[in-house]
Amino acid sequence: MIEIINEHLNKFDFDVRKSRDARFMDQKVTPDVLCIIADCVSNFVADRDIEFTKDDIWNDEYFNTNVKGIFNKPDAQNETTRQEYDKFTSQPLRTLAYAGVLSLRKNGNKNMYKIENKQLLEFIGMKERNAYIFLYHYLIKVLSDSNILRFFEDFKNKCVSGDISNADFQDLKTRFQRFIIGNTAINGTTEVNRIFPKILNIYSCENNIEGTIKGRLSKRQIYYTDLMYNRPNWRDIDKNKNISRNEAISEHETLMIEQNEAYSDYQVQKAMNMIRKMYSTSEVKDQWANGTATQVHHIFPKAEFPIIAHYLENLIKLTPTQHYTKAHPNNKTQQIDKDYQLVCLLAKTDSVENSLRKGEFIYRKESLIFVINTGLSENLDFTIDFREIKRELSRIYNVA
């Protein structure tokens, strides 16, 4: 998917010295906010070829229900909250427009948006991890086109060598301030200082180096959770610093699900909706596969395994007969038929493999293995191939 992202980005010249636009990035543009705004746009537009405004997204019930619950914000329909929501919706939309994912035109004093790259928009809206990946590659392109990436690279090299100092951090910050003030309509450091941390910390997180916290050089490297608008409990997330970025992402998702029921429900429903859109027929090709596939089944039950309830790799499209007579024997939805669970896992493994072979971005093999390890209390190696996954599944269920 990174190739697809870069192929899109390479179509554009993002040089800020030419665009004179400082809103390529902004204070509210964090991976989690960008993700949910992208999802809200996809949900609002659906299959229509229409223009929309930030107010269209703001007034949509899907936005109001999910943003209010997940980010603990007041009701979006309350007029007194307009200022609260204005930047939350407008800034991510401006970034998506600058990046060419959306188009933007002025209609009086309104910004009119339209989807230009549906595939990328859906990728960003799928997971916060995806939004983070996109933001990193997008910002690298902007900084490179604007000929200021070299200053960030100098900062990185000093961090890696262990020679970084507060003076080096202030030098980078000052260079960025001068660049923005000298090339855009922003004429003071206050606004620049709100944008700078959002750029530096994504760059720092990806490169495992120091960044900025509370306007100063951080005393440690920047972690994935530092980037989020909606952060989990710091006392929990700070317990382990010696973890990989992917582990930090998984830990963030786990804590958010544990601490925020609305977030969990949103992630599960979003994943189920995606599976519904992806498959028109059952993923399990057996004698009960005839008919319309209308059911999305949790291979490992949501109530028993909430941590993987939102994983696409744990969801499978079935016909009603498959769902209510095979997956759940005698229509008892609290029970799982173990033999048919294996059938579903083998079929899902094929779905994941076929999707990845086509170059799609929906699934990750590592996530499939994580689902299996979690649901079956196993410790399969994340490097095994799909044939080995199916062999291991057969072994596990035959032993059981």
Q: What is the pLDDT of residues 139-183, one digit of tens each?
A: 999 999 999 999 999 999 999 999 999 999 999 999 999 999 999
So what's the pLDDT on residue 330? 81
Query: Based on the structure, what is the number of domains in the chain?
Result: 3
Q: State yes or no: pLDDT of 260 exceeds 90.
A: no
Is position 19 within any domain?
yes
Regarding whether 314 and 223 lie in a shared domain, the answer is no
Is the pLDDT at 216 greater than 50, yes or no?
A: yes
Find the domain containing 117 and state its range.
2-126
Residues 152 and 235 in one domain: yes
14, 142 Cβ separation under 8 angstroms: yes
In terms of domains, do 321 and 368 share one?
yes
Domain final residue, candidates 249, 275, 300: 249
Output the pLDDT for position 78. Answer: 67
Instruction: Tell me the two tokens of residue 358.
Output: 């086509």
Classify residue 14: in a domain, yes or no. yes
Could you read off the pLDDT of 83-104 as tens digits, one per residue? 667 889 999 999 999 999 999 9
Question: Does residue 139 lie within any of the structural domains?
Answer: no
- The candidate with the shortest Cα–Cα distance to 316, out of 287, 359, 340, 345, is 345
Whether 271 and 244 share a structural domain: no
Q: How much is the pLDDT for 237?
A: 44
Q: Is residue 277 part of a domain?
A: yes
- Which two three-digit tokens encode residue 225? 């959770």
Please compute the mean of the pLDDT values over residues 117-138 and round it to a whole number. 95
Q: Please, which contacts does 50-55 make with residues 24 or more away whose CB atoms are closer than 8 Å?
A: 50/114, 51/112, 51/113, 51/114, 52/112, 52/113, 52/114, 53/110, 53/111, 53/112, 53/113, 54/86, 54/89, 54/90, 54/93, 54/111, 54/113
Residue 246 has pLDDT above 60, yes or no: no
368 lies in a domain? yes
For residue range 48-73, list pLDDT tens digits in order.
999 999 999 988 999 988 887 787 66
pLDDT in tens, 28-51: 999 999 999 999 999 999 989 999
Q: Any idea what DSSP says for residue 101?
A: S
Whether 267 and 171 share a structural domain: no
Q: Produce one character per residue of 115-128: b if its CB has 16 or more CB atoms within 10 Å, e if not.
A: bbbeebbbbbbbbb
- 315 in the same domain as 240: no
The CB-based long-range contact list for 51-56 (8 Å cut-off, 24+ gap) reads: 51/112, 51/113, 51/114, 52/112, 52/113, 52/114, 53/110, 53/111, 53/112, 53/113, 54/86, 54/89, 54/90, 54/93, 54/111, 54/113
Task: Please tell me whether residues 268 and 395 are part of one structural domain.
Answer: yes
Q: In 10 A of CB 306, how many CB atoms?
A: 15
Residue 254 in any domain: the answer is no
Q: Establish if 131 belongs to a structural domain.
A: no
CB 146, CB 18: distance < 8 Å? no
Q: Which of 249, 277, 309 is the last residue of a domain?
A: 249
**pLDDT value, residue 331:** 79
